[in-house]
Chain A
Amino acid sequence: MSDRIKEKLSILADAAKYDVSCSSSGSNRKNKDKGLGNASNGICHAYTEDGRCVSLLKILLTNFCIYDCAYCVSRKSNDVKRAAFTVQEVVDLTINFYRRNYIEGLFLSSGIFTNPDYTMERLVQVAKKLRLEHNFNGYIHLKTIPGASEELMKEAGKWADRLSINVEMPTEKSLALLAPDKKREDMIKPMLYLKQEILANKEEKKIFKKTPSFAPAGQSTQMVIGATPETDLEILYMANGFYKTMNMRRVYYSGYVPISNDNRLPAIGTPVPMIRENRLYQADWLMRFYGFKVNEIVDKENPLLDIDIDPKLGWALRNMNLFPMDINTIDYQLLMRVPGIGIQSANKITAARKFSRITWEHLKKIGISINRAKYFIHTDSEFEKKDLQPLQIKQIILQEGNSKYKPNFSPQLKMF
């Protein structure tokens, strides 16, 4: 018995690991009637050797699947071991992991067996059982199965903190190529439905405080990048659209890990596009927290993000006419845009300059990255870097900096 559950867990965790979402924040579920757990800010309880955070028990209910999506390890035609948990097994694992403080909650997804509704119904059962039978108030993220009925989605939102439907591919064309069984429309329609339900629930809660929550941590989505030829421009415009029109909490970018010999896809052994993925997340952060518009990050002339420098530095170098700026007077919104200054440093600088003139010494202590910022700001002392061209600045920063990706920048192939 215990050997079987060990095997199932290893198969169904392994199959779930390409779903990158691990967030467990954004909900505000309190511990009710002295039950088990709560969900608020999200805690990363462990980190795997690939450096990714482990916050949730992230598993598939089953990796049996009727679909044959080329990029997916659980595709019908793939020769892998198959397994399926019972509803009770998932509930027991969640509760016992949670009580030991291993996890913040459950992220349950599934291969599609029989049909979408049948699958979705099982996912909902797990969440319902956790909430009602175990008074479990920890975090629950359910994957919404494309094609599942609206009644089931509504039921799911009643018990889950977050729901997500993966858009899978950045464009419809790529989806048609790699996942012929799936239609973009089957993903967009439920997203719109969830958006409306979430908004309606928020309105209702304003009037009746006791209204039960509907997916209080909102919805998110994910797309695979690097499996198909889309540019960063296409990817970021798509993400921007999701943030603007779908009220998505997060868009995740999953660098394609080659798992198949299918000739529609990069061959096994092709490196995972990790730098590109990192640059996309940086761009995503600029849109969500730094007030950047998507067209300031990528445009028709620059459809690809620079691999060797981050997108904020890239933007600054393209806009040298704005710099240098006076650190003692620069507007907060622009201060955040200075390379080498993050949100926290920007907050400290604006607080500190109410008391005294800011000097380089202050900036050093506050902890900004002087090596970057010095080309873009000046203090009361003279600004000395005025004659440098953007390309020269880039070269100096690259030479001084010790990027973890440096070995990858060299265009020459290492033979040994």
Chain B
Amino acid sequence: MNIVIYDGSFEGLMTAIFEIYEYKIAQPNIVNSNKETGSLFGNVHEVQTNKEKTARVFKKLKDKLTPNAFSNLYKTFLSEIKDIENILYRYIAYILSSKVSVENDYSNADVLELQQITKKVHREKHRMEAFVRFQLTQDQLYFCIIQPDFNVLPLISKHFKNRYADQRWLIYDSSRKYGLYYDLETVEEVSMNFENDVNNKAELKSICDEKEELYQKLWCIYFGSINIAARKNMKLHIQHMPKRYWRYLTEKNNVN
């Protein structure tokens, strides 16, 4: 087994894959330098992220894949699930080894698995587009804290930019400690450490717009009023809104 260490970025992974071919590294095991702990057995090859090598991998893949399948590579990478590097490597190796297009060969285990991961990432992206609950501050910034299962901020940026074009907003991922900030012109990634407890009501009230509390209350009233008690179905409710998201949902924790 040959260990290939990369820096955890998507470009880093592409460079790693390039170098596996360049140095003919057999049976590679790609690991993220930020995650791996303990001793590593076998030969270790360290990758320096390289733009040119990345671009060459991209170019080759663009020839071989439909635009959709190509963009799914990055999406699945954002899942951050264990071993995603090696699944992606095996998938890419299979794509490059075949003369015909095999991106839809669901009889191949890696092709099918990547398709299934794509679906999970897409579901999480969609959930965040649904579950963001903005709160308005005194300086007219709409902000929201989320904790998605996968690193989906890069995937939801466009949706929020297109939709909320006329208001400043900030969406902060408290697990990954960075956010997206839109200043009415462009969206930028901002790193920060937001220690405030999202559910500390007294503190929130001090920074929020005077109407904020009223609209949260109205939303909760609305949410309660459109429920049909005679049709209660908590199993379905929880299936659609899993409990781990509740602490960030106004209607689920503004009960008073």
Contact = CB atoms under 8 A, between A and B. Distances in A.
Q: Do A and B come from one complex?
A: yes
Interface string A397-413: 00000001000000000
Interface in A321-358: 348-349, 351-356, 358
Contacts of B225: 9-10, 13-14, 17
Given A6-B218, A36-B165, A257-B230, A46 B142 contact: no
A48 interface: yes
B233 A50 contact: yes
Contacts of B167: 36, 99
A100 B134 contact: yes
B160 to A, nearest CB: 8
Contacts of A54: 223, 226
Interface string A35-48: 11110000111111
A100 B133 contact: yes
A101 B224 CA distance: 18
On chain A, which size bracket covers the interface? Answer: 35 or more
A94 B228 CA distance: 22
Contacts of A354: 104-105
Given A17-B225, A44-B130, A365 B112 contact: yes
A352 B109 contact: no
Contact of B249 (A6, A46, A353, A355): A46
A5 B239 CA distance: 32
Contacts of B223: 46, 48, 54
Main secondary structure of the interface of B (DSSP, over half): helix
A49 interface: yes
Nearest to A50: B231
B164 interface: yes
Interface in B193-234: 211, 214-215, 217-219, 221-234
A45 B142 contact: no
A9 B105 contact: no
A96 B215 contact: yes
B40 interface: no
Contact of B219 (A36, A97, A135): A97
A100 B130 contact: no
B144 interface: yes
Given A51-B240, A99-B134, A404-B235, A355 B219 contact: no
Nearest to A102: B219
Nearest to A352: B106
Nearest to A36: B166
B241 interface: yes
Contact of A93 (B106, B218, B236, B241): B218
A173 interface: no
Given A47-B241, A50-B237, A36 B164 contact: yes
A48 B236 CA distance: 9
Interface in A167-188: none
A349 B104 CA distance: 10
Contacts of B165: 31, 34-36
B204 to A, nearest CB: 14
Nearest to A1: B214
Contacts of A51: 231, 233-237, 239-240
B10 interface: no
B200 to A, nearest CB: 19
Nearest to B104: A351
A269 to B, nearest CB: 9
A362 interface: yes
B219 A58 contact: no
Given A100-B250, A135-B166, A366-B112, 16 more contacts: A6-B217, A10-B221, A31-B163, A37-B163, A43-B130, A45-B130, A48-B226, A51-B236, A51-B239, A96-B215, A99-B134, A100-B215, A257-B230, A351-B106, A352-B105, A355-B107
Closest 10 CB pairs of A and B: A51-B236, A351-B104, A13-B225, A352-B106, A50-B231, A51-B233, A47-B240, A48-B227, A355-B105, A17-B226
Interface of A: 2, 5-6, 9-10, 13-14, 16-18, 30-31, 34-38, 43-54, 57-59, 93, 96-97, 99-102, 135, 255, 257-258, 272, 274, 348-349, 351-356, 358, 362, 365-366, 404
25 contacts: A5-B218, A9-B225, A13-B226, A31-B163, A35-B166, A36-B165, A36-B167, A44-B240, A47-B237, A47-B241, A48-B223, A50-B227, A52-B226, A93-B218, A96-B215, A99-B134, A100-B142, A101-B134, A102-B219, A257-B228, A257-B230, A348-B115, A352-B104, A366-B112, A404-B235
